[in-house]
Amino acid sequence: MKEHVDVLLSNEVIAKRLDEMAAEINAKYAGEQVELVCALKGAVMVLVELSKRLTMPVTLNFMDVSSYGNSMESSGNIKVLYDLDEDIAGKNVLLVEDIIDSGRTLSHLREMLMKRNPKTFTLFTLLDKPDRRVVEVPVDFVGFVIPDAFVVGYGLDYQQRYRNLDYVGVMSFIEE
């Protein structure tokens, strides 16, 4: 089987939407510092591109949480591989995600981080796949609602590959 990727969202479309979302975030947090929490590894590209568009003071923090392994579907078994290295108590926290699929991972992260007493807690995702939702999670900023397809690029991967694509594409397999 050969892997094939078709463009779903071009780099230009993503950049325009990030500009729009950053303007909303800038208005919401005008004059206040925000701690951007990145869910590694997929959200790194989103975090970098979003942070460059924000006008308030920001700090960065990272978590590595896994629910996919090498599969194309979330297992529902959430593992924290790397936790935050700074306390978020009393801070404006904006959790940056690449994609919300089943909602299991984000629900787990949200519960875990809310127990750490942030001043505010806001969720941001570039991509939302509501057709796959198993656990509902309130999301404040959604870039794109996408169909139920396996997507790669712009940080999203298949077996650690394709993260470097500057667009989001739908992955399929073709028989050789």
Q: Which of 98, 101, 128, 157 is catalytic?
A: 101
101 catalytic? Reply is: yes
Measure the CA–CA gap between 65 and 83, rounded to whole angstroms: 8
Query: CB–CB of 80/56 below 8 Å?
Result: no
The answer to whether the peptide bond before residue 41 is cis (omega within 30 degrees of 0) is yes
- Tell me the C-alpha to C-alpha distance, in Å, between residue 93 and each of 59, 101, 118, 144: 10, 21, 6, 21
The residues annotated with a catalytic role in the active site are 101
